[in-house]
Structure 1
């Protein structure tokens, strides 16, 4: 035969996380759990045993179980578990009740075999009323004079429902040692062909080339003689020893996979090449008719396949290869499924399931025995289809037992494709030998559904009110339309009646919107949801009609978007179990949610589409904002719709800068606004109409303050825009309104003389040649000066200069006695203060008093001049001009020779632009606040 072209490229799929479909039709809620003796590896192999419709059961291998055999330790056993609802008891089958047998050589009895730790039950298969169970680690002495122990393996057949047991050990021959069949381990793998022939794998024969042996069970029964170790079975065929290059091939252990076209077993064999032995170790091979062709296809598990993870390190995840058989031994690789569970050993076991979902394509179970969050093990169900095998599991079954000292190994053994409960659907057995458990999952009947939802007419006219609803004692006319839904169901082996829970929801998307109001209600209930229990006969159709109506348009804003109406249905979870103790399940490929939509009729032409043209103009009552001020601002806007259609849910949208706050609506404006924050952006939305009709021109004003200005930004900006929910031309252009950030301070200098007039000389006053107190030199005069910053901005560095006459015509006029200050002031002078050290009375001076040096003045005018200049302001933004100004304070000197004052001069000058200092020498006082606050 020609070598098949097996090296074609195939599609590689990495499995998604195992939560795509928590459960399909294998009933994971009510499984049957069988338990075996602790530590027996109960569940290492599993099998159905269906002799007839009245007797159904499960057989389970426990290769480390202890039995009643004399002097045998952990010889292994097979358990028979009859099935019925609520039944989970098992008992062992006595295939062999003898201890180790002896053989007589040279008149001496010798132990002929070793049954302890032989792993009987490691392989279990059935066909009709026959069960095949094998012990691959069984060994015998051989008939040589020198004792040897050859691990030939052995098997037993139970025939006619346990009425007879026969042994079948085809590797127990004269071809001993590793070069012959001495290490055969016959029964490591085993199965029945469709016509009942026994097929055994012996991976250790011929220096581990391995071999496959087959014989008819009838011939095995005929050849069996209890006293003979070696038997000749009529018609037995087997693969022969190959060339030395095939040593260590492990033929019969399922890898590197032999494809054996019986009955030409001894002469024809094909090799599947291209897979690394390291990938396939502990792997599994099975055939299944995936497509509707006549030839079976091939599935190969590689549980130790490795791929590179996110950190570029190799990770053992497992893989399964799918080969479709296009012609005799013409295998085309079509799909590679790669596991995602590190060390999960995906692909360890592959089991055909038959047509699990009754879609006429066979399905497959693949185990990942160490996968899952707690390494409890996973079994993944893949459905077949016309192109082979789907790349996504339809169901993932997780083991119930977390990994302990010994992993649970849930899924290490799988068996399917048999209908245990006779409900027309195949079932699945899963072994978990690490916890000595086996689980039977039965298939639930599948319901295929078809549903329809109709709304007519689909356009709701708010002006046509053909229905009415009751509101207390009042009948209200409403706009309504018709709604109907239909539901049909069919499937194989279903009960006559199926109960569904049906839910129809109106305006379904509105519940996802903040503050959304559902616009449609059912006429009968005035509710937005209709829930019904609907009974449908298998293969029939049921329909239901009702009416829905539109709320009054004052109750909602959204008139543009579609009103989505959804129909959702499910099988009634409280429905009774069928005659097999199962509830049907919906086909996961059926559509369970159907949607239709209705529209509100608008005044927008035949296509019901409104196209506005939105324009916006903005004006403000100021262009500057001062640092330190609240900066009240009124923005007046004009919103217009110059389009042909209305703008629905039209709003003025104002984005505030971080420095601003919203104060309210300007007077005489009928406007409704809401102030909100979203993602740290504060905005104002004002209703402009719903709809804002074509030709609308709206004027209104909004009041703000801008109190949180900083000198890091030279401008602040408001952004205004008209927004609507229309599909076309929904927004106006964004209109920015900018304010320039300005530094400005209003600084005032005030001064006063106390007293403001003096009688000179005072009564009874005499000139003292050696004055001691201030009264000795004349009347006291106080000048008080006050520098006030009325803001709004602060100042940080200011100079105050004061000039006063101290003498006239070389005669002393004013004697500088003391300088007193309040506030963060620092004063200096170039003239001696109180140089005669006169005693000062306890009067408190309230401000700064400074005197200039002698200057010539005409007449009796006593006048002081104060000037200030702001040198610096505490901002990164420079002011347009620095504040400065001056103040004159005069004193009226009254002499007895005159009837009127000689002079009274109090001159207050306004602000002046900063100029150079006066040419005359002046005393200076620098006003320096402790911090950059307002002075």
Structure 2
């Protein structure tokens, strides 16, 4: 184990104050010694000062040969400060150690001959605050370059070429601290190598950059940004192939991300190819603890759970008041688990450690068991801990059952009597890397785990009384399959022979005997059971009872037929009239034309404005229904039918009584009936298991209208009566409209028509003086007929009066037709009329009798027919009118008085006197002769 101690005193240079040190520790002996370091010569204008250089602030290992790179970012060149103690240049220094620590080489990548200014270029670059080694590249962060804009420095150990990021386009802002963290991975393709650098102070939100190396310069390929001010996004970066697709993914730590205070977060970016980094929908957050600074350190551990995907460790060094913790997250095909699989604290390891998790390193197998281990530093405790990875056991479990169970064949003996039983074989195969000793597996075997709740378990084990559960153990060697045999006995009173019998085995690791160890090696660790994504330590298999069936796979074949019995019909179309208070009968027929149907059910689904009342003859037909109202708009009846099963080639008639909510609106309701069963039915036979019915809800309306008039007749044309007002005859009309139901009438309207002229004359015959209704509103419609509205009525000449009175008595009928302008039209809107509601309309009119004497057109008897008719509602999709034409006629007769005007009477008397004298003279003359 190598551990950096940045503020340690040197055992080699007593005149140097706290330069820091690199310790080499023997894990078995728990002994540590310092590695010699020092800078003797560094350049023409260079003089080394190693005081407080923080050697060991960053450590990394070259994967191929084990070379080590250790840096102290506060190493200073004091050449230009020898006289005035000014312009000490903190270049930073890194030491490369060979894997056997026999020799070391130092690098001062920021040193330039004759460079003396502190902030410009690389004068204060502080190289080595972070470092990372690959096969060919030595990567060092230099956050102090160019006035703390920062940079990333790369040395190619094969070509001996130094490269650096030069921000010529001002992409990175001043004070960004680029290089605070570094990493490297395969971002473009599996064989390329790209560099990652974090800039936690960029715009106060932080950024992470992915660079490609071209000659001696670095070019930005991709950049990601933090989402919160002051979160220090980019303080730690880790390139790791989480989904094992050959391309590196990226984790970026933001240890000061806060919801309350500095809980810390880690952003996850999955490489879609060609550096197309897709941010995950979640962030890693550890335990989300107060001031934990989760994400301050991260390390690629390799595949510690042997599932083929690399895993990562993330430190939260200030969690639990600086005690610290380390979290393990597992790589997966989709990327990484959102929840940690393990949380490790110093106290859990039996030590009181502070800032445990301040540094993490992984990927090295310390104990030689084939699994990479983890080293964790506890900065405030001057301690480092090696955490060994336990071997991972992969178990392949199998459960073998006979194809079928024959109830008539007893192959076992129970209490000296033949018994039906099932042979159950439980087998395990244990695999894994370098698993020592024997692995014991303990398991629980359960019989009939999916039995119907209404029935008892159908099988049991003798080893545990009559329980359906038994326990067992096996001891298996690596790569071998080991089996145990169990007998499950069938109960005598089994009634359910349709449902398959499921057996279930659940297992876990038992005792692990690892054997003794050599004195020069670490104690072998006991194995743990592998937990792959979506995997459970459970295996299930099934068998079924042997049945003699006519159909393939013993398939049932249910068919559903249904129809509604409705209380009303119109033109041979049944419907349900809202408000009639009657019930609906839903008749269903369930037919089984296949093999026996076990535990059949009918699921009747209908809208919530229908209510279930009961099933007719439910006890006789073994029908039991449960109401399911989980949906807001619909209700489902789940009805068990028949006694356990419906036999083959049989049918069952079931009638449901339903009620309709009287506040429902008109429309078509859909009722579905679906038949199910617990045993098998071929997919191509399922189409007739479902039936749909339409329930037409309508407003059924039947109006009754009638009217009367007072007086029913009157006499006009009396010459002795000379009224002052020409409209001297008062008439009262009364009309009554009643809704006989059975439903309410929506927007009820009527129209009343009263003759108002004597065609072809324009003189007004009547006028309305009062109009009242007991519901709604009525108004007089404007007439299209040109009316003369005064009392100057032209009287006929006397000879026409003479002819009229001498003529035969005749009768004329005045009537109205639709859209007739010769009639006075009154329209009434009653709104909604409930069933049984009666509305009365009272109309008071005044009539001008003189209009009836206009000639031509007058008759001795004038009959005025007034009509009332319902104009709304009309028959449509929501309303059914029981009677097509709803109207009534009210008759009013006007009788001419037949009294002669004085002048006509005088003419008739004079004419009669002359005629009488002439006749008398003729008689006298005849007698004289």
Could you state the TM-score of these two structures normalised by the residue count of structure 2?
Answer: 0.51
CA offsets per residue over residues 191-223 of structure 1, 9 Å max, x none? 323574324332222378899x9xxxxxxxxxx
Q: What is the CA distance between 1:486 and its match in structure 2?
A: 2.1
Q: What is the CA distance between 1:483 and its match in structure 2?
A: 0.5
Which SS does the other structure have where 2:542 is aligned? strand
Aligned to 1:640: 591
Q: What is the CA distance between 1:569 and its match in structure 2?
A: 1.8
Q: What is the CA distance between 1:670 and its match in structure 2?
A: 1.9
Q: Does 1:427 align with 2:373?
A: yes
Name the CA distance, whole Å, in 1 between partners of 2:191 and 2:581. Answer: 86
142-151 or 723-732, which deviates more: 142-151
Query: Quick one: which of 495, 520, 530 aligns to 2:470?
Result: 530
Aligned to 2:639: 685
Q: Name the CA shift for 1:682/1:672 in 2 (closer, same or farther; >3 Å).
A: same
Is the 8 Å Cα contact of residues 698 and 880 (structure 2) preserved in structure 1? no
Name the CA distance, whole Å, in 2 between partners of 1:445 and 1:871. Answer: 90
Aligned to 1:701: 655
User: Equivalences for 1:232-271 in 2 at 5 Å?
Assistant: 255-261=152-158, 268-269=160-161
Aligned to 1:122: 57
Name the CA distance, whole Å, in 1 between partners of 2:461 and 2:26. Answer: 55
Name the CA distance, whole Å, in 1 between partners of 2:703 and 2:842. Answer: 27
Q: Does 1:501 align with 2:501?
A: no
Aligned to 2:111: 205
User: Equivalences for 1:766-805 in 2 at 5 Å?
Assistant: 793=743
Q: What is the CA distance between 1:364 and its match in structure 2?
A: 7.3
Is the 8 Å Cα contact of residues 440 and 512 (structure 2) preserved in structure 1? no
Aligned to 1:449: 395
Name the CA distance, whole Å, in 1 between partners of 2:840 and 2:107. Answer: 121
Query: Quick one: which of 691, 716, 726 aligns to 1:734?
Result: 691
Q: What is the CA distance between 1:581 and its match in structure 2?
A: 8.3
Q: Does 1:568 align with 2:568?
A: no
Q: What is the CA distance between 1:696 and its match in structure 2?
A: 1.0
Is the 8 Å Cα contact of residues 558 and 689 (structure 2) preserved in structure 1? yes
Aligned to 1:762: none
User: Equivalences for 1:904-919 in 2 at 5 Å?
Assistant: 915-917=888-890, 919=892
Q: Name the CA shift for 1:878/1:462 in 2 (closer, same or farther; >3 Å).
A: same
Which SS does the other structure have where 1:339 is aligned? strand
Aligned to 2:581: 630
User: Equivalences for 1:43-442 in 2 at 5 Å?
Assistant: 47-48=1-2, 59-63=3-7, 76=20, 116-122=51-57, 135-139=72-76, 141-142=78-79, 146=83, 185-187=92-94, 190-193=96-99, 196-206=102-112, 255-261=152-158, 268-269=160-161, 281-284=179-182, 301-303=196-198, 304-305=208-209, 334-339=246-251, 344=266, 410=357, 412-419=359-366, 426-431=372-377, 433=379, 438-442=384-388
Name the CA distance, whole Å, in 1 between partners of 2:577 and 2:90. Answer: 100
Q: Name the CA shift for 1:720/1:646 in 2 (closer, same or farther; >3 Å).
A: same
CA offsets per residue over residues 724-750 of structure 1, 9 Å max, x none? 35342134241415244343689999x
Is the 8 Å Cα contact of residues 618 and 735 (structure 1) preserved in structure 2? no
Name the CA distance, whole Å, in 2 between partners of 1:476 and 1:626. Answer: 68
Is the 8 Å Cα contact of residues 797 and 871 (structure 1) preserved in structure 2? no
Is the 8 Å Cα contact of residues 567 and 593 (structure 1) preserved in structure 2? yes
Aligned to 1:559: 498
Aligned to 1:484: 425
Q: Name the CA shift for 1:790/1:254 in 2 (closer, same or farther; >3 Å).
A: closer
Q: Does 1:545 align with 2:485?
A: yes
Q: What is the CA distance between 1:654 and its match in structure 2?
A: 2.0
Name the CA distance, whole Å, in 1 between partners of 2:68 and 2:232. Answer: 40
Q: What is the CA distance between 1:631 and its match in structure 2?
A: 1.6
Name the CA distance, whole Å, in 2 between partners of 1:71 and 1:340. Answer: 40
Name the CA distance, whole Å, in 2 between partners of 1:677 and 1:322. Answer: 52
Is the 8 Å Cα contact of residues 357 and 446 (structure 1) preserved in structure 2? yes
Q: What is the CA distance between 1:545 and its match in structure 2?
A: 0.8
Which SS does the other structure have where 2:422 is aligned? strand
Is the 8 Å Cα contact of residues 74 and 92 (structure 2) preserved in structure 1? yes
CA offsets per residue over residues 795-830 of structure 1, 9 Å max, x none? 89999xxxxxxxxxxxxxxxxxxxxxxxx999xxxx
Is the 8 Å Cα contact of residues 66 and 74 (structure 1) preserved in structure 2? yes
Query: Quick one: which of 644, 651, 654 aligns to 2:601?
Result: 651
Q: What is the CA distance between 1:380 and its match in structure 2?
A: 5.7
Name the CA distance, whole Å, in 2 between partners of 1:118 and 1:648. Answer: 83
Q: What is the CA distance between 1:496 and its match in structure 2?
A: 3.2
Name the CA distance, whole Å, in 2 between partners of 1:395 and 1:585. Answer: 17
Is the 8 Å Cα contact of residues 467 and 479 (structure 1) preserved in structure 2? yes
Which runs of 5 or more structure 2 residues have no equivalent in the other structure? 41-46, 116-120, 128-135, 139-143, 199-207, 210-221, 255-264, 269-294, 347-353, 518-522, 569-574, 707-735, 750-773, 777-838, 845-867, 895-929
Which SS does the other structure have where 1:566 is aligned? strand
Q: Name the CA shift for 1:715/1:300 in 2 (closer, same or farther; >3 Å).
A: closer
Q: What is the CA distance between 1:410 and its match in structure 2?
A: 3.7
Larger helix proportion of the pair: 2
Is the 8 Å Cα contact of residues 24 and 35 (structure 2) preserved in structure 1? no
Which SS does the other structure have where 1:608 is aligned? helix
Q: What is the CA distance between 1:419 and its match in structure 2?
A: 1.7
Name the CA distance, whole Å, in 2 between partners of 1:713 and 1:430. Answer: 75
Aligned to 2:613: 663
Q: CA RMSD in A?
A: 6.8
Q: Does 1:723 align with 2:676?
A: yes
Q: Name the CA shift for 1:637/1:453 in 2 (closer, same or farther; >3 Å).
A: closer
Which SS does the other structure have where 1:655 is aligned? strand
CA offsets per residue over residues 63-94 of structure 1, 9 Å max, x none? 38999999987654667888689x9xx99979
Name the CA distance, whole Å, in 1 between partners of 2:246 and 2:841. Answer: 105
Q: Name the CA shift for 1:583/1:333 in 2 (closer, same or farther; >3 Å).
A: closer
Name the CA distance, whole Å, in 2 between partners of 1:396 and 1:630. Answer: 65
Name the CA distance, whole Å, in 1 between partners of 2:515 and 2:892. Answer: 114
Name the CA distance, whole Å, in 1 between partners of 2:82 and 2:225. Answer: 57
Aligned to 1:586: 529
Q: What is the CA distance between 1:685 and its match in structure 2?
A: 2.0
Aligned to 2:627: 676
Aligned to 1:599: 544
Name the CA distance, whole Å, in 2 between partners of 1:793 and 1:488. Answer: 76
Q: What is the CA distance between 1:616 and its match in structure 2?
A: 1.6
Which SS does the other structure have where 1:656 is aligned? strand
Is the 8 Å Cα contact of residues 701 and 739 (structure 2) preserved in structure 1? no
Which runs of 5 or more structure 1 residues have no equivalent in the other structure? 1-46, 49-58, 102-111, 152-181, 214-237, 241-246, 262-266, 289-294, 324-331, 402-406, 750-785, 800-823, 827-847, 854-867, 884-911, 922-935
Aligned to 2:848: none
Is the 8 Å Cα contact of residues 442 and 509 (structure 2) preserved in structure 1? yes
CA offsets per residue over residues 434-482 of structure 1, 9 Å max, x none? 8977543222133343433211x22223444545779xxxx99864321
Q: Name the CA shift for 1:686/1:435 in 2 (closer, same or farther; >3 Å).
A: same
Q: Name the CA shift for 1:485/1:369 in 2 (closer, same or farther; >3 Å).
A: same
Is the 8 Å Cα contact of residues 312 and 330 (structure 2) preserved in structure 1? yes
CA offsets per residue over residues 152-206 of structure 1, 9 Å max, x none? xxxxxxxxxxxxxxxxxxxxxxxxxxxxxx765323x543235743243322223
Q: Name the CA shift for 1:621/1:62 in 2 (closer, same or farther; >3 Å).
A: same
Aligned to 1:170: none
CA offsets per residue over residues 672-718 of structure 1, 9 Å max, x none? 12132153223242414654333213233222222x13352234443
Which SS does the other structure have where 1:916 is aligned? strand
Name the CA distance, whole Å, in 2 between partners of 1:209 and 1:852. Answer: 108
Is the 8 Å Cα contact of residues 742 and 879 (structure 1) preserved in structure 2? yes
Considering Cα pairs closer than 8 Å and 6+ residues apart, tell me whether 1 or 2 has the greater RCO. Answer: 1
Name the CA distance, whole Å, in 2 between partners of 1:249 and 1:377. Answer: 36
